[in-house]
Amino acid sequence: MTTFLIALLSGLGFVLAYHTYGRWLGQKVFRLSAEAICPAYAINDGVDYVPTPRAVVFGHHFTSIAGTGPIVGPAIAIMWGWLPALIWVLLGSVFIGAVHDFGSLVVSLRNRGQTVGDIAGRLINPRVRLLFLLILFLSLTIVLAIFGLVIASVFRQYPSSIFPCTVQIPLAVAIGYWLHRRGASLFWPSLAALALMYLSVAYGDRGVLHAINSAMKDWSAFTWVVALLVYSYVASVLPVWMLLQPRDYINSLQLVSALGLIVLGLAAAALWGGAPLAGDTRPALELVAPAVQWNPAGAPAIFPFLFITVACGAVSGFHCLVSSGTSSKQLCREPDARFVGYGGMLTEGYLAVLVILACSAGLGLGIALKDGSVLTGVAAWEHRYAAWSPQLEPLVAAFVDGAANFLRTLGIRTEIAVALMGVLVASFAGTTMDTACRLQRYVVQELANSFAGQPGAFAKSAHRSLGWLRGKHGATILAVAVAALLAAVPPPGEAWSLAQAGKGGRILWPLFGANNQLLGGLAFLVIAFYLWRRGMAVWFIVLPMVFMLVMPAWAMVLQVFVGGADAPSWLAQGKWTLVFIGTATIALEAWMVVEAVRLFPRVKGILEAPMVEPVKASPPDVVAPS
């Protein structure tokens, strides 16, 4: 019953936070106004800026920010005990992560939907804009290189998830056309799409579909990565309403409903025990992971590494890119920013809570071994967590097994439960990957415009040589090409071959947490400058900002230069790719912070230079599409 109470009280706590702290931020700090003209109406180019119902924007936002971060991060972190991970998720989501996402969204809404990197140039100075854009480029390159490998790994582990994930694409295009061309209601298309997606899970691995899934399972990792990057390219250059937006929306319907099924299964397991294992024997639901384990074998120190391991479930710098890169270009009304920004992060926090419970209690309901035997209780948990491992595959398997056990309690067959959880992981990763590709396109275009806009002969040369990067196709091609090259690098010590290619994301995986969290600290810096220049309160943001600048920088310095007895530094191991990107990130962050600290005392109450681009006037009382 303790497990169910944690799930119930966590959910109630998030709802309470949304209606108290979130409302205070919206009304008293950011002063959201229904009369403001949002960029979706002011620009409305039909490609990136498209007025969209808030439910659809929420679906896009939630599925894009979630990814596999709130699954893999908590699944690793419970090695230090489920209690520290749970506390960080609860407090981090409410007071840091949701504030970060909400603030990034509002600041972008009031700056014509620009990304935080672009906004930093006017709020702080042009040098900071360039520094921020370079950090964004590094961060998004890591995301694109890693998430292709994550999806490939899920498909190879759970081939029954391949068809259900693939069929989402034509469904999304059909619904995109239905809504955009006909302006129809969301209800019936949503219901039909949800039914079809669940049918694809139930029947998508039978007969000829099973043969197709099995054949695609044997594709090499690099084949999958290339195919996924090609898809991301297409999703990035198409109008947002055609594929990216509707796919994220219908994904959100399936994913949120799947989370509801997990909660129902958890409640059933708490009341009656798990699904019978032998005869009528039902294993009891209990927390089989340790509550606290300060020094697990082979693991780094809990401080600072807990706070970069559990990233997306508590706070994530990647979210500022989604908030300011895509979501701000689609919202119809300023007040909807609280629902999308603050509410989206709390929903992700709740996902992270369920992952913690699935890995620390759900596993105890039983896992089947290859020899046909079944482990339950503490023995099941120890089998999955015998030693510290940051590898992706076993951690994804820990969540899938634990969550599937909750679904089995409801009478859902094992193969369907496993397929649904595999689809959940792959869909989250896929929506994050295609959004990241679109965001990287924006960053490349902004960087190209920055160099071409410099004075003198350099600008003329840059304009000629970088002109192709200023268009959406050239920028997107560069984004996917760089990610593909990094993914093609074989694992350390391995010779290049087609079988080894595609696994380069594993090299970059240790960078993901610290790099991602540093980006969150820098986004807080931009939000703080926005408020400070307007003479508004910043006290609530200072501690989260400092925390998110110090913790990941501390972790990255340890990883690059110091290490420990069980984990030598990257420098000592000769991992030059990690050393280069890690050192560059630390240097860029330090430079940006120095620039900000020097300027901060002098700009209180002094507004930044206004934007000069023309705005297409639209009446503030335009009715949002429904």
Whose tokens are 């990034």? That residue is 104
Is 453 within the bounds of a domain? yes
Q: What is the DSSP letter of 498?
A: T
Is 609 within the bounds of a domain? no
Pair 302, 13: CB distance under 8 Å: no
Is 622 within the bounds of a domain? no
Which pLDDT value is given to residue 160?
95
Which pLDDT value is given to residue 193?
92
The domain tally of the chain equals: 1
Which pLDDT value is given to residue 455?
54
Backbone angles phi, psi at 367, to 5 degrees: -130, 140
Q: Tell me which residue of 539, 529, 553, 521 sits closest to 608, measured CA to CA.
A: 529
Whose tokens are 């099995």? That residue is 214
Q: Can you give the residue range of the structural domain that contains 28?
A: 2-602
Is 613 within the bounds of a domain? no
Which pLDDT value is given to residue 467?
75
Which pLDDT value is given to residue 567?
77
Which pLDDT value is given to residue 460?
59
**d(Cα 361, Cα 373) in Å, to the nearest integer?**
19
Is 619 within the bounds of a domain? no
3-state secondary structure of 467: helix
Is 153 within the bounds of a domain? yes
Which pLDDT value is given to residue 614?
43
Is 612 within the bounds of a domain? no
Rounded to the nearest 10°, the torsion over CA 99, 100, 104, 110 is 30
Which pLDDT value is given to residue 184?
66
- Amino acid letter at 377? G
Which pLDDT value is given to residue 127?
85
Is 611 within the bounds of a domain? no
Q: Which residues of the chain have pLDDT under 50?
A: 614-626
